[in-house]
Structure 1
């Protein structure tokens, strides 16, 4: 689908969205709770009209009633964090079980490792990669397909960002500076010999983190960084998302989309950009498409087309699962990236110190863009090469994937067949050239 609303930059509010005041989140919770009796009645009705002993079950009327009940249940449900569902992969032609475990954790993020339980060691070590998932409304499971594509040929780690409403206020704030600190701490915890892959929004903090590490001559700097569909310089070929941020200004976002987490969530009274409001913005961008999809679900339920029904369920179980973002992170990101363009202008700072990508010398750079990307326009990610002017030309690569939008940059058949092999080759080349440089220095 055209992921103009799915997995991109921190989501902005669609045109016409009402002003959000503090009580609105509380009213939303009350409204959701008030639907519980209706949901219970609907569930019972659905069971009744799917019971094979009910003579109406096999009639057009019975199937329509059951289908309508499912639509009501799905449109009023609160969708929890999806499961990864990755139990195995194929490594060197051998089906290998995968164990997912946390190897590093702080209040706002866990670092997950997809441990391939191989029965015999590999002949040649495979690249170790840290995939930095977007913190832009959806959970890290949005990158399930990305992880699955890399697993056969890479050791994979991924950032699993926390839902802000689940983090107690006592744990403190989380802003863009904290995000950068988290990335640096993860790279330290992983012990070097890593490649970093940033998917969309994290391209900016990843580049900032690497720049800070290089300025400090940090020995744990990654071997390479791959930035995919990221808003490095949103002045290049600006999209509707970019223009909206500039038109509104940061004060509008602060007064219209920030509220406090209500009781009974652990993060009660934390200032957030709430998931339900983000979802409103997502859906408003393609309302007709979503309405048509649910009409098709009703028809397929009545027809009994299980494959199409399962496909719809799988997509929307992920799509409708959203999380709250801390207000300070969201506002700082919108202002820094989309309004002030601080990084490409040389005005971005981290803990009061300048972020200077020209300091990057030891890290190879690859940028990937999609030809039809309507979130991060063509040229926005490629701009990284102008900023990282000290990286030798032979250690920098840019690739534009024809025929894909934003989502296709990191998922789908073309990602698996055309983008992943190029990234893998780039990582192997980057590691080899780094070894040669180290040998020459000795």
Structure 2
């Protein structure tokens, strides 16, 4: 297991699993270290030129996208993205309907790192096999979180991960094809509605040998034919996802071993309408594939043995996946509520136990503080225990008190050294955890 997992493992004994929210304040899974632009004051952009210029800035940025931005012919933004949060205001859409090889919207070049992309609609020209570009391509991006996005009608694919990309979480995203495929492309396929590719060949892999990707609460819908995802040289966790496509020949998981082999742990996932849940590509990719289905609806037989991921994450029952993930108002897709100041919320409440909307200054993940830190418990009444742990698991702060509805817990961290800390708040029988950075 990769060294990046040590952090999660070391805190396993002090964290408590809790129900997911439609809105996640921080990524879970393999992309959990991603912080994007942090708490940088947001910059609102309205045009293609403004968007490209903001992405090219060398400093961390929180970029708020407003309205519909249509990309020019050949205008995919192909840059090294570093320390950026790109967040769509309600209704924000990025459109590139060019059917030449110049299609595509975001291309994260090799050297990209620490990128968050949320609440955006990506609209491509429809599938046309000219070996063109995808709506979103990560071609060498480390630490990436893509959340609550709607990917529609990518030319070559909707969202591909390749090159040296690694440590990625894709959550609450919807993938679909609404436009009919165009035949006669030079690539040879007349129906290239292939949505997600991980690794572009059996020999391609990131530095440590495996693409580590978490797919959480995603929805592959109508029009999707294959690649949900298609992968090799990877370690995948597919959690609480939903598959329901109207394509009669559809294939969900297409997995080959590649030169470094592949593992895939599929958990609490609902394969509602898909012809082939799993197709082996070992004959073409070589290597060994292990794929295990844990508590899934309409899963298939396991292949080999795959260990359950050791990082901390939240989940819900497979029987709830359809109602939660397909919820048009709050489920998968670009439906977050984002204020003009960048505050994020959801129109819906929590999915299971109450994990609250905890921190009134938690605007971007993780929260950066100086000395004072305020926790707003909103409608909660009961015994509250607030604890803070260092990165080696040592408790450095604790307060216990009885709170009433609407009360705030105000703490002072002036005695703490600068660095990363884990916070844990328990009220009655409910617990939530998050990270802070002490300046």
Band the TM-score falls in, shorter-chain normalisation: under 0.3
What is the TM-score when the length of structure 2 is the normalising length?
A: 0.24
Higher-RCO chain (CA-CA 8 Å, sequence separation at least 6): 1
What is the TM-score when the length of structure 1 is the normalising length?
A: 0.24
Structure with the higher helix share, 1 or 2: 1
Structure with the higher strand share, 1 or 2: 2
